[in-house]
Amino acid sequence: MVTVPHGHHMASLLSRAAGAVSLLAVVLTATTSTSPAAALFPEEARPTRSGYLSITSTNSLYYAFYEATDPVTTPAASAVPLLVWLQGGPGSSSLIGNFAELGPYLLLDSDTSLSCNPNRWNRRFGVIFIDNPLGVGFSVAASDADIPTDEPTIADHLLAALQSFMALDPAFRARPLFLTGESYAGKYIPAAASRILGANSKLPSNRRVNLQGVAIGNGMTHPVAQVTVHADQAYFAGLINAAQKAEVEEMQTRAVSLVKSNKYVAARRERGKIIDFLENVTGVATAFNYARGQPHPTQPLRDFLNTGEAKAALGARSDVQWARRSEAVSRALAKDVMKSAIGDVEAVLASNGTRVLLFQGVFDLHSGPASVEAWVGELAWPGLGAFLAAERAVWRLGDGQLAGYVQRSGALANAVIVGAGHMAPGDNRPAAQAMIEGWVLQTGPFGEAAVRDNVVNES
Residues marked as catalytic: 183, 364, 422
Are 171 and 217 a contacting pair, CB within 8 Å?
A: no
Beta bridge partners of 408: 413
Residue 392 neighbours by CB distance under 10 Å = 13
**349 in Cβ contact with 356 (< 8 Å):** yes
Give the three-state DSSP class for 130.
strand
Rounded to whole angstroms, the Cα distance separating 129 from 133 reads: 12
CB distance 282 to 244 below 8 Å: no
Is the Cβ–Cβ distance between 54 and 160 less than 8 Å?
Answer: yes
DSSP H or E segment with residue 216? strand 211-217
Backbone angles phi, psi at 120, to 5 degrees: -60, 145
Q: Is the dihedral of CA 143, 146, 148, 149 positive or negative?
A: positive
Contacts by 203-208, CB closer than 8 A, 24 or more apart: 206/173, 207/163, 208/173
Q: What's the rounded Cα separation, in Å, for the pair 160 and 163? A: 5
